[in-house]
Amino acid sequence: MSTDEKDTGTTEADAPAVETTKPEPVGAARWTAERKSLVLRAAAALVVGASVASSVILFLENKESKDLLAAQQGAREAACRYAPVLADYDSKSLDGYFQAVLDGATGDWKKQFEATSTELRDALTQGQVTSKATDTQCALRTGDEDSAEAIVVIGTTISSLGTEHKAKPGQLSMVMSLHNDGGRWLVEKVNSPLTAMPAQ
């Protein structure tokens, strides 16, 4: 046996296998990168879209809340303005009083007041009644953008034949139902469960 043929203790079968990987084609690498970029862009678009949608919803909810608060404030102020109108009159000149009451009225309340105006005028004139509103307190009980209900307490002084034309303090409590008529709050129902008569 020659030295070239000496057993080295290893054969070709025993030699470690060399792992070879084929390089990925350039086009495939580019496609993978583009696909990842598209996925990232799509994810970003979804996030932005969700954020915009949330912003729109919050904006609309905030706007609705502001509109509701503005409507409630308008209804309360209308009730506070109208209440003294009801309690401020002089039997010697009732035309302005009746007109002012009707200007702020609508629905059942307007019909009711118109139907009883003749009798009311006669009673006030015969009794020589004069009433002045001295204080008004009002609060909204319920309300949305179309309708509202207000509780009103009016302090008054009233003089008449019955009081010998001496002004006597009185108080009138009422519940007003209001309706939003094109941005203007009008009173459509008046309920006066508690009416304090002037002191004798």
Q: Return the closest-CA partner of residue 181 out of 151, 156, 154, 145.
A: 145
Report the percentage of the chain scoring pLDDT > 70: 64
Task: Report the alpha-carbon distance of residue 161 to residue 127 in Å, rounded.
Answer: 6
**pLDDT of the residue at 66:** 83
Alpha-carbon span 164 to 48, nearest angstrom: 78
- Residue, of 24 and 116, whose pLDDT is higher: 116
The reported pTM is 0.65
Per-residue confidence at 131, pLDDT binned at 50, 70, 90?
A: very high
**Would the pLDDT of 90 be above 50?**
yes
Query: Residue 48: in which H helix or E strand, if any?
Result: helix 26-86
First to last CA, the chain: 149
Cβ burial, residue 101 (10 Å; 0-12/13-18/19+): buried
Which pLDDT score, from 0 to 100, does residue 116 have?
A: 93
The two structure tokens encoding residue 44 = 């970003």
Q: What does the alpha-carbon distance between residue 178 and residue 106 come to, in Å, rounded to a whole number?
A: 9
Residues 9-67 pLDDT 10s: 444 445 454 455 455 555 555 556 666 666 666 666 666 566 556 555 555 555 668 88
Q: CA 186 → CA 2, 6, 116, 135, distances in Å?
A: 124, 119, 19, 21
Asked whether residue 98 carries a pLDDT value surpassing 90, the answer given is: yes
Instruction: Count helices and strands (H / E) in the chain.
Output: 3, 5
Q: Which of 19-28, 105-114, 133-142 bottoms out in mean pLDDT, i.e. has the lowest?
A: 19-28
